[in-house]
Amino acid sequence: LDSGDADFVEVIHTNAGYYGEIGRVGHVDFCVNGGKLQPFCQNSPNEQLCSHVWVVCYMAESIAGKQTGLIAEPCSRRCPSGPRINSRPGERLLMGHHTPGNSRGSFCLKHTNPPYCPRFTEDGIGDDRCCL
């Protein structure tokens, strides 16, 4: 997958360097929680696979209209190696289904609760498969 594959390619990194790519490959790349192991996947039977497939729940959350926690800030071209985000100047960007098609660059965000999990939402909307 790269930016030449479509008019707009959005990449959400949740397991960079294991199942996913480390560097920027889309028109816009998002690194969630450093883009590597997701914090809520720690101690799961397969932390790498758990982190990789979690992107589905992030996208589901963005489609369901739960965008408040999916706002990212500009960061370096690669996902950060640790939990610290080295942000750059620029506008923050909404990650997921509602990302504007003219967006470009690399963005980082922290998301501490499992996305699209009904146990972490006020309205109970979500899917139990997105909970641990």
- pLDDT average per 10 residues of sequence, the chain (132 residues): 92 91 91 89 90 89 74 85 70 93 93 78 79 74
The per-residue pLDDT for 84 is 62
Domain 3-130 falls in which CATH fold? Answer: Rossmann fold (3.40.50)
The per-residue pLDDT for 77 is 74
Contact present, 71 and 108 (Cβ < 8 Å): no
The per-residue pLDDT for 99 is 94
Q: Where are the domains of the chain?
A: 3-130
Q: Which two tokens stand for residue 73?
A: 């800030």
Q: Say what the pTM is.
A: 0.87
- CA-based nearest residue to 57, from 120, 123, 122: 120
User: d(Cα 117, Cα 131) in Å, to the nearest integer?
Assistant: 5
The per-residue pLDDT for 67 is 59
